Chains A and B, each alone.
Chain A
Amino acid sequence: GESVGLHLPTLSVQEGDNSIINCAYSNSASDYFIWYKQESGKGPQFIIDIRSNMDKRQGQRVTVLLNKTVKHLSLQIAATQPGDSAVYFCAENPKGGSQGNLIFGKGTKLSVKP
Chain B
Amino acid sequence: DAGVTQSPTHLIKTRGQQVTLRCSPKSGHDTVSWYQQALGQGPQFIFQYYEEEERQRGNFPDRFSGHQFPNYSSELNVNALLLGDSALYLCASSWWGSTDTQYFGPGTRLTVL
Contacts and interface: CB of A to CB of B under 8 A. Distances in A.
Interface residues of B, number: 35
Interface stretch (A12-20, A60-68, A76-84, A92-100): A92-100
Given A6-B39, A44-B104, 8 more contacts: A32-B101, A36-B104, A43-B4, A89-B43, A91-B42, A99-B55, A99-B94, A101-B58
B74 interface: no
B49 to A, nearest CB: 11
Interface of A: 2-8, 32, 34, 36, 41-46, 49, 89, 91, 93, 96-107
Please list the 8 inter-chain residue pairs (A to B) with the smallest Cβ-Cβ separation, ordered nearest first: A104-B42, A98-B94, A101-B45, A43-B104, A97-B99, A6-B40, A98-B98, A7-B40
A49 B102 CA distance: 11
B95 A98 contact: yes
A105 B56 CA distance: 20
Contacts of B45: 101-103
19 contacts: A4-B39, A4-B40, A7-B40, A41-B106, A43-B104, A43-B106, A46-B101, A46-B104, A91-B42, A97-B99, A98-B95, A98-B98, A98-B99, A98-B100, A98-B102, A99-B55, A99-B96, A101-B58, A105-B42
Contacts of A36: 104
B61 interface: no
A36 B104 CA distance: 10
B29 to A, nearest CB: 8
Contacts of A2: 39, 88, 109
A91 B43 CA distance: 10
Interface core residue of A2, A8, A34, A98 (most chain B CB under 10 Å): A98
